[in-house]
Chain A
Amino acid sequence: MKRFFLSLILVLSNSIFLFAEEKIEIFPSVPFDQFIVYQNLAIFWVAIIGLIVIIRMKLREFERIQKMGIDKEEKDIPLLD
């Protein structure tokens, strides 16, 4: 009897999935593909941070030159013949 009830519960619980809505996969479902996506995202962020560091260094260089006033071309500069 106990076995009968257990098997009945199992059948009923499985039948629930028959009525469940088919879910559309909007993201790769294979674990390896998921790993590749997350790995690429991490590399992407590393590249972004690297670019930001380079841009900031460049920006500081511009500001330093502008502060010194040597970013503009001098007027009446002597020309070499």
Chain B
Amino acid sequence: MFFFILQFITGMVLSMYYIPHLEHAHKSIIEIVTKLNMGWFFRSVHHWGAQLAIIFVFIHVFSTLLLKAYRKPRELTWVTGFMLLTISILFGLSGYLLLWDERAFAAVRVATGGAGNLPLVGGFIKAFLRGGIDVTGETLTRFYAFHVAILPIITILLTVIHLMLVQMQGMSIPVSIEKKQHKTMLFFPNMFYKDLIIWLIMLGIMVSLAVFFPPEIGKKADALAPPPENIKPEWYFLFLFQTLKLFPGEILGLNGETVAIIIISLGILFFFLIPFFDKKSSRGEPSPLFTWIGIIYTLYFVVMTLIGFVT
């Protein structure tokens, strides 16, 4: 939440100077970084804020899954939280293309092409995201609209609903200690002051990362040039990237990539619907099966991301 607020602030500053046009996008970012006073800092903070926001959304979702905080009556909180995770990833993907360098161009081409492999709706999703057959200036305009207008509005709405639900239902307590006597803590001032300390530490870490590791800018994207070597998607797509690598080109006469995309989509759909399948937790009983499912999902994500990172 804190990172989302920072992203809004730094994003507003950057949008004052960014030009969402095929010919000027890359140049305008170079000008922000090299000519504007503190421009490099705002861009770097925006970059690292996005990375940290996505990391913390993932940690939050996986801890909710493992502690079974999704159980009745908090199904809707889980649904809104999952949607916020999806939106964070879409924010990352749309923001990545705005740089309009060769890596971003190739990564978005692969990501939108992957979505196009979905049966029935794939072609529509691909065309909707790209605004045409290939990644072009139309895609850049579209992604800019997603990044600065559509996604922020949806994020604000979902965050308000998510926080209202948390306020109404209170914080979830794990099944194992639910029946035991536990200490309650006031939101204000105790919880608020503790959160404030964490926010300050995170702010310091984010600013330090922005200073020591400012993000690089590659060569301007060229649709006719071959993609750069050793191209990898952003870290939050690595587990999907590695999963796709596991599948052969053809399975039982079907396109291997299409089969992989269907299996991955089903896996994500099951993850999304877990609160509705886990009936035991809803009744306040321990459900080891879903504990193991949670552990498998978490381990799969972590291990595949690490393998993708190292290889």
Contact = CB atoms under 8 A, between A and B. Distances in A.
Contact of A44 (B44, B207, B214, B219): B207
B119 interface: no
A48 B211 contact: no
A69 to B, nearest CB: 13
Interface in B190-207: 190, 193-194, 196-197, 200-201, 203-204, 207
A58 interface: yes
Nearest to A38: B211
A48 B193 contact: no
Interface string A8-43: 000000000000010011111000000001100100
A41 B215 CA distance: 18
A41 B208 contact: yes
Contact of B30 (A21, A24, A48, A59): A24
B193 A55 contact: yes
A26 B196 contact: no
A51 B211 contact: no
Interface string B27-43: 00010011000001000
B32 to A, nearest CB: 10
B216 interface: yes
A62 B193 CA distance: 10
Nearest to B211: A41
Interface in A35-67: 37-38, 41, 44-45, 48, 51-52, 55-56, 58-59, 62-63, 66
Interface of A: 21, 24-28, 37-38, 41, 44-45, 48, 51-52, 55-56, 58-59, 62-63, 66
Interface of B: 30, 33-34, 40, 44, 186, 189-190, 193-194, 196-197, 200-201, 203-204, 207-208, 211, 214-217, 219
